[in-house]
Every structure is written in structure tokens, then in C-alpha cells.
A and B are shown apart, each in its own frame.
Chain A
């Protein structure tokens, strides 16, 4: 297959970037989008040009490293799935494909298509955990968890931390990301003792990182490779209100 590419090139965080056109002829339809970029990079290298920097690792949709906006959509048109799970046979022969990084103020560009998403780590560091010290855990089956609660917690826990939710959101909000972690832990009995503190601290960290708020456009849900439901944002809002009330009541 043959494609025309428009790729965002930017030397570093400070330099201005621009879209650069490349031809990508003779691409096997079974290749993934990232493998197409590998092929293009190999050709650039042999022509003496600098290869396009882009992030990837597992290339099977679970590590959350790849972070491309393809034809204006986070992770491209084949939802649900990360950019590494996007295959060239899904495009039309001869199509022009625009490839840009995730565009979020809180994810500064490192180079070309690579962004810095450490803001997401800092949200988790603010409270996205259960303080269970190694060695202190009780026998696993002494904490029965209703199957339904465990299943819903798993749905939230499936988040791969890619940040596509923020990239797709017109407000650059990370609420789906934060909601997934808050919900996962709030749904489990083990998460109960730190439930109030957790949501307050994580929301505070999210705001401090400069992410926007949710205005219910559901773009996040539409692009999420892990199919996290936007209803978890409602859950986050409830958790936050509950925690705020408890705090104001002095509990």
C-alpha cells in the first residue's frame, strides 16, 4: 500500500514544531502503524535524515507507552485500541495520514511525537494506592469481595495509563484516568480506610498539574483503548462530594 504522511517534527520542548510531509510507499497491509513508522524511519536513516522519534514498547496494547494522535484522533480511528494495535489495512490505499503527538498542556513535548506524561504518575503518587505494607497482609480469602464489585473494580483497573483521555478531551481533562483509579480502589473493601483521603488528594494533584475539568463530552470514553466507561467519572464526582461532605462535617 502507499501512503502520504504528515508528521509533527519538533526538535525539543523549546523549539517550535511543524508538520512535515513524507511519502510512505510499499507498506505491507499487515504492518501496524508503528511498523509503518519503523519502515519510514529506516528509509530516512539511509537517506541521511534524522528518524522520527516516537514512543512505543510492548506493541500489544497493554503498556500504554504509545501516544499518537492519528488523523486527529487519539490512537487513531480503530477504537478501542492503542496506536500500536492500529493496522495499515484499516486505511485506504493512497490516503494521507496525519500523525501528531498527544496534545495536552500537561504533557510537554520531548521530541517529535514523544510527550512527557509524568503528570499522571504524580496523580497516582498523591494517593492512588492502598497502604498495605509487605508482610502485613491477612489471608487472602479472609476478605471476600462480591463478584460484581470485583468485576467492576477490574473494569476500572484495566486503565493502561496512556493519557488518550486527556488528549481527546476539549478541556484536556484527566478525569477518566483519575476516576478509574479512584473507582477501582473505592469499590473494594480493602480500599475503604483511605477512601476519603485518596479522592481528595488525587483530585487536588490532578488540578495542580493543570488538567481541565469534565464537561461531559465523552470523547475520553470514545478513544480509551481499555474501554473505561465515562460513568466512572460520575463515580469520581460522587466520591469527591462524599469525601468533601465528610471532611466538612469534621469526620
Chain B
């Protein structure tokens, strides 16, 4: 029983689909809107903008986040920018081109109709953010400025210094605050969703835990929106915030929501290299640095130990410029990351452990002056200095790829509704727009598109048929879900072993990074699938979760999330094993072109893999479903950035 597994893509030419769909979607009249309660889980760009906008429309919204304030959601850490097809630079941009770049960037593994809509509403997002007072960078004329990003040959990225995510999130947080003040949105900070409640096949509420007091609560609603971000922390080390987790989406999956393409994980090419076991997270250096920085390693292994300034031009291999002359240092993320891994595997990596490449600003400083570089990237150079103690104006930065974003997520149809009616999934938490690889500056675009401009049309279309169907929150299904949540918490507290959560999580992360990271193969994945259940067993036997459930207990919070990661990791590897082709960030070593690029198999794998949880509480092999991808507008092509 998988509910409604149909993408519901509207008919008509691609540039009319969204307009036609909006014209025919069902509406809820203003007087009836306050009769509907909507739950939004997550307060980042997707959840925050959705909650604020639904509140503005007159629905009664409850918004939940695990952070102590909605302003701290991890969207805040995005640095570089947000794409929009404004064509302010007069350099040939258009909705079609943004659409095409995104489809191609995703290696033809996303849905045409969704991506076209994203490109279509991108321009409205910039309008909306400017109206809210987001201080985007401007030119002396007073008009908006743009920069370039990877995977595009036009300048379409809007930015606010190196803090674009922060400024966009604060814009949407301010809209949310306005609705909280107006009483349409009730905010529940430091409250974690621990289960979704399904009544007669429809998502009608959630079970939460107040992280400060430990109190478990039930919340009934007419619809549930998950905007809970990605699962990059399954790798333990990633650029995600410490609290980012898969729990909300994974527990929805266990309740019957399909999980799509979980193996599509983005490894970002420009992060500060890993430096030791104590490390709790990796720090991203914005992709925008690749506008002016040149990536290189020594041509010969013997040069790696020398200080970079002593290596002459003739001894340097600017490998991205060499291999991809037309995109050069702005080659897309998956390609740049793999290229870095390749040169390090050849023994030409730099820095401790040989896991790093140089990102060099010497030429840009010579050409533009240090002042200009300082204006463009000053804060990033400061971050780099704080972490590494090195001055990147004088010596090149050392960078290495790190887990950053997850393209996979819960399966949704064109309306952003999962196969479970009433359960909507937006932002990074869904799978819908980025295919097998996301282009830089497109995550912010998608989060805000979903929250400001898509959900406000597609959610009423569902609600219109749901008048009076909200169950009471003491319905048997709520009681059952609450009991399950309590049992799980008790079980975690009962383990009483002698290992820390971090040590097991780190072990899982290393395993996945090795076998299900930048490159994967059949043997490695099978081996990992053998090891994950063992590790999970050890978790349930050996960890120690101190304290109790009736209190502010950070170990308990983390324990629940790590337990879910240990189950989810298996799903990710099964997906990676089943997708017997290479595409975008999913690089199966068995399938590559003679030049070592990802080799797709469109005949067999031009499809979304959507996984259905099997097993009654226990974990069994999930059931796979396929949504074939139809390309009516673009031609499938070997992706080339040469």
C-alpha cells in the first residue's frame, strides 16, 4: 500500500504547465482558511517561508524547529548566493537556460516539469526578498549586482557578501515573526518531531518532544509539511550543522512515505581539509571563490612537500583548466570534487595526509589588487585564517571535498505532496529538483520557491477536499504513535553500555565516506551492507545514553538521530547498489567514459528510485518503485563541460 504514486505532472507545453495548473487548482475561500490547521516542521528557507506565507493567507499554522530560534536553521550557513533568471547582465540568460542548466547539471535525473517551474518562479523570489529588505549586493547605480557560479556560463547569482543564506533566512524569519505577532503562526522552538501520524491513509498530525522539558505532545492538523533539510550528517563529518538529521524524513518513510534517490549526495569541492579525529564538522569555503581562485596541485608527487610558493608555474597542474577548458575552475561540483580526489589518489595531494589541493588567489591579486579580493571574499579569508592559522592572501588555500547537500529525499509529486496524501515535503528534504547533482546557488532558490510560491498554490488544492476531516489528537493513531515514541526513548536510555554516540557515528561516517562517498563500486557497497547491521547491533548494545527523558538531555536527542542514521545508511547503500550506472554525484566506478567521466545508462536508469519501507518495525529489504523520467523538452546528452 503506497498511497498515490503518480507524479501528477500537468498536461500542456512545458512553459504553460505551471500557469495551467494554478488556473485549475482548487482554492479555499478566505473565511474557511482559518478553519484549517497546518503543521510545518522546520524553519529554514523552505519551512520558514512556507509557514509565513500560509499564515499570511489566513491558515492557522504551527511551526516547529529543533533550534532555540527559527532564525538559526541551517539555511543560514549558505554563503555564495541564489540563482534567478533575471538576465540583468544582458548575457543571454532566460528561464529556459536556467532550466536547461539545472537539468543538465543534475545529469538528467530530475523531472523536467518541476525544474521548469523552479526556473520560472526564480525571478519572483528576488523581487520578494528585495521587498522584505534583504540587502543584496548592488552596483553604484543602485541596481542589483550578480556573480557567476559553477555549471553556468551566465552571471545569474544574487548575493549578500558571503552571507547570502543568512540574509535570505533573516528575511524569511522576519516574515515569520510578523505572522507570529499577528497570531496566525504559533512557533514551537526546541521541539523535535519524532513521528508523523497517519489516519485513514492521510497525514494528520505529528508527535513531538519538547527538548527543554522532555514533554511528549501530539498535534493534530489538516496537513503536515516537512521542511527538515538533508541527511548529510549520516557521514558524521559534513558541512551541515551539528543538529541536522534524517529523523523527520526517515520516520515518515517508516510510516509509508517513499524515499527517493537516497544515494544522491553532493560532495562539495571547496571545503577546508579534515585535520584530525577530534573534528566535529567540516567548513565550507564558498564556491564563489572559484570565480577568482585557481585550483592546482604539483605536477609531480615529489613537489607535494615543498611550500607552494617554491613550485614554479611549469611545475603546477591547473587540472580543472586543463581538463575542462570552457568551464575551467567553474566546473560543476561533482566533477570538480572527483577531479580533486583523482589527483590526490595519484599521490599529488598537498597538506597533511595528502588530502588537499590548492586554491590560489595570487593571479587574481596581481590582476585586481588585494583590496578587491578583500572586498569580494574578505570574510571567507578570515574564516580560513581562524581555522587553519594561514593567511590566504600570501599562501594558497588548501581545500578538499566534503559532504554538503543531499539531492535525494522524500518522494513528492508535482504538488510537492508525498505518496501519503496530506504529507507535503519541501526544500532539501524532498528529492525533486536537482537530479543527481545540484548546481551552486540553487538550494536557496529551491527552498524559497517551494515555500513562497509553490506550496501556497498546491496545499489549498489538497485542503479543499478535507473540510472537517481533522481528527482529534486523542485518536487511537496518535496514542499508538506516542506510545512508540516513548518506547523508543526508553529503549535508548536502557542500553547503558560504555561507548559514546560520537564514536559509533564516526565509525559509520568513515565507512560511508570510503564506500558510498565520491566513488562507489559493487563490492564496496556489498561489503558495507554487511557491516551496517553489525554496527547497528553494536549501537543498541554498547552505547551509553546518560540522564533521563524528562529533562533537557542533549545525549538523548543525539541518540535518536544516530539510531535513525544507522538505519538510513543501509537504504542509501541499497539505492547506490541498485543504481547500476554513474550519474552526477553518483559515480559507480564500473561505469565511466574513457576520460573517467560519469557514464549514464539512460535506457535502464532514466528513472527515480522510490523506496518503500518493509517490515513491521524491524528492518527488511525495502521495496523499490520506479518513476520513469520523460524528457520532452531537452535531449538527453552526455554531459560535457570541456
Q: How far does the Cβ of B419 sit from chain A's closest Cβ, in whole Å?
A: 28
Q: Is the CB of B278 within 8 A of A38?
A: yes
A59 beta carbon closer than 8 Å to chain B: yes
Chain A residues, CB < 8 A from B551? 12, 111
A190 beta carbon closer than 8 Å to chain B: yes
Say which one of A114-122, A229-237, A242-250 lies at the interface with B: A114-122
B281 beta carbon closer than 8 Å to chain A: yes
Q: Is the CB of B131 within 8 A of A130?
A: yes
Per a CB cutoff under 8 Å, which of A55, A60, A87, A190 touches B133? A190
Chain A residues, CB < 8 A from B547? 50
In the assembled complex, the Cα of A61 lies from the Cα of B380 at a distance in Å of 11
Q: Is the CB of B173 within 8 A of A124?
A: yes
Of listed B70, B160, B173, B552, residue having the most chain A CB within 10 A: B552
Encode B177-190 as 1/0 by CB contact (under 8 A) with A.
11011000001010
Please judge, given known A-B contacts A45-B500, A53-B552, A132-B132, whether A65 and B144 are in contact too, CB under 8 Å.
no
Encode A91-123 as 1/0 by CB contact (under 8 A) with B.
000000000000000000011001011101100
Please judge, given known A-B contacts A28-B278, A62-B163, A114-B552, whether A188 and B544 are in contact too, CB under 8 Å.
no
B253 beta carbon closer than 8 Å to chain A: no
Q: Is the CB of B72 within 8 A of A63?
A: yes
Q: Which residue of A lies closest to B555 (CB)?
A: A51
Q: Is the CB of A59 within 8 A of B453?
A: no
- Interface size range on A against B: 35 or more
> Which chain B residues numbered 360 to 415 have a C-beta less than 8 Å away from chain A?
383, 386-387, 389
Chain B residues, CB < 8 A from A147? 138-140, 142
Q: Which residue of A lies closest to B503 (CB)?
A: A42
Q: Is the CB of A157 within 8 A of B68?
A: no
Q: Is the CB of A121 within 8 A of B130?
A: no
In the assembled complex, the Cα of A218 lies from the Cα of B135 at a distance in Å of 26
A5 beta carbon closer than 8 Å to chain B: no
Say which one of A68-76, A137-145, A166-174, A208-216 lies at the interface with B: A137-145
Q: Is the CB of B283 within 8 A of A134?
A: no
Q: How far does the Cβ of B42 sit from chain A's closest Cβ, in whole Å?
A: 14
Q: How far does the Cβ of B170 sit from chain A's closest Cβ, in whole Å?
A: 7
B174 beta carbon closer than 8 Å to chain A: yes
Say which one of B8-16, B121-129, B432-440 lies at the interface with A: B121-129
Q: Count CB-based A-B contacts (< 8 Å).
A: 215
Q: Is the CB of A143 within 8 A of B130?
A: yes
Per a CB cutoff under 8 Å, which of A31, A60, A111, A121 touches B69? A121
Q: Is the CB of A137 within 8 A of B131?
A: yes
Chain A residues, CB < 8 A from B126? 140
Q: Is the CB of B142 within 8 A of A38?
A: no
Q: Is the CB of A57 within 8 A of B243?
A: yes
In the assembled complex, the Cα of A168 lies from the Cα of B503 at a distance in Å of 36
In the assembled complex, the Cα of A61 lies from the Cα of B284 at a distance in Å of 12
> Which chain A residues numbered 3 to 57 have a C-beta less than 8 Å away from chain B?
12, 27-28, 30-32, 34-35, 38-39, 42, 45-46, 48, 50-51, 53, 55-57
Q: Is the CB of A58 within 8 A of B77?
A: yes
Please judge, given known A-B contacts A42-B502, A51-B555, A134-B456, whether A57 and B242 are in contact too, CB under 8 Å.
yes
Chain B residues, CB < 8 A from A12? 551-552
Q: Which residue of A lies closest to B388 (CB)?
A: A30
A222 beta carbon closer than 8 Å to chain B: no
In the assembled complex, the Cα of A44 lies from the Cα of B608 at a distance in Å of 46
Chain B residues, CB < 8 A from A185? 133
Q: Is the CB of B69 within 8 A of A120?
A: yes
> Which chain B residues numbered 96 to 124 have a C-beta less than 8 Å away from chain A?
124
Q: How far does the Cβ of B12 sit from chain A's closest Cβ, in whole Å?
A: 23
B312 beta carbon closer than 8 Å to chain A: no
Please judge, given known A-B contacts A124-B173, A141-B88, whether A134 and B128 are in contact too, CB under 8 Å.
yes
Chain A residues, CB < 8 A from B453? 134-135
In the assembled complex, the Cα of A161 lies from the Cα of B169 at a distance in Å of 12
B67 beta carbon closer than 8 Å to chain A: yes
Chain B residues, CB < 8 A from A161? 69, 71-72
In the assembled complex, the Cα of A120 lies from the Cα of B71 at a distance in Å of 11
In the assembled complex, the Cα of A39 lies from the Cα of B279 at a distance in Å of 10
B627 beta carbon closer than 8 Å to chain A: no
In the assembled complex, the Cα of A34 lies from the Cα of B452 at a distance in Å of 36
In the assembled complex, the Cα of A188 lies from the Cα of B552 at a distance in Å of 41
Q: How far does the Cβ of A149 sit from chain B's closest Cβ, in whole Å?
A: 8
B522 beta carbon closer than 8 Å to chain A: no
Of listed B131, B383, B502, residue having the most chain A CB within 10 A: B131
Q: How far does the Cβ of B580 sit from chain A's closest Cβ, in whole Å?
A: 37
Q: Is the CB of A42 within 8 A of B500?
A: yes
Q: Is the CB of B177 within 8 A of A128?
A: yes
Q: Which residue of A lies closest to B389 (CB)?
A: A89
Q: Which residue of B lies closest to A136 (CB)?
A: B131
Chain A residues, CB < 8 A from B326? none
In the assembled complex, the Cα of A191 lies from the Cα of B134 at a distance in Å of 11
In the assembled complex, the Cα of A113 lies from the Cα of B559 at a distance in Å of 20
Per a CB cutoff under 8 Å, which of B86, B131, B189 touches A132? B131
Q: Which residue of B lies closest to A121 (CB)?
A: B69
Of listed A58, A120, A133, residue having the most chain B CB within 10 A: A58
Q: Is the CB of B67 within 8 A of A65?
A: yes
Chain B residues, CB < 8 A from A126? 181
Please judge, given known A-B contacts A124-B174, A147-B142, whether A58 and B135 are in contact too, CB under 8 Å.
no
Q: How far does the Cβ of A148 sit from chain B's closest Cβ, in whole Å?
A: 9
Chain A residues, CB < 8 A from B212? 110, 116
In the assembled complex, the Cα of A42 lies from the Cα of B278 at a distance in Å of 11
Q: Is the CB of B241 within 8 A of A87?
A: no
Q: How far does the Cβ of A123 sit from chain B's closest Cβ, in whole Å?
A: 9
Q: Is the CB of A60 within 8 A of B138?
A: no
Of listed A28, A110, A154, residue having the most chain B CB within 10 A: A154
Chain A residues, CB < 8 A from B167? 154, 157
In the assembled complex, the Cα of A60 lies from the Cα of B180 at a distance in Å of 28
B74 beta carbon closer than 8 Å to chain A: yes
Q: How far does the Cβ of A160 sit from chain B's closest Cβ, in whole Å?
A: 8
Q: Is the CB of A60 within 8 A of B77?
A: yes
Can you report 18 residue pairs joining A to B where beta carbons are below 8 Å apart? A12-B552, A28-B276, A28-B278, A30-B278, A35-B278, A35-B280, A58-B76, A60-B283, A64-B72, A65-B72, A129-B178, A132-B128, A134-B456, A141-B143, A147-B139, A157-B135, A161-B71, A184-B135
Residues in chain B within 8 A of chain A (CB atoms): 49, 52-53, 56, 67-72, 74, 76-77, 86, 88, 124, 126-133, 135-144, 160-161, 163, 166-167, 170, 173-175, 177-178, 180-181, 187, 189, 212, 241-243, 275-276, 278-281, 283-284, 383, 386-387, 389, 452-453, 456, 498, 500, 502-503, 544, 546-547, 551-552, 554-555
In the A-B complex, list the 5 residue pairs whose CB atoms are closest, starting with the nearest.
A144-B142, A129-B174, A137-B131, A132-B131, A137-B127
Q: A31-B276, A62-B166, A121-B189 are in contact. List 7 more A-B contacts (CB 8 A).
A: A46-B500, A57-B243, A59-B242, A87-B387, A137-B130, A150-B135, A153-B135
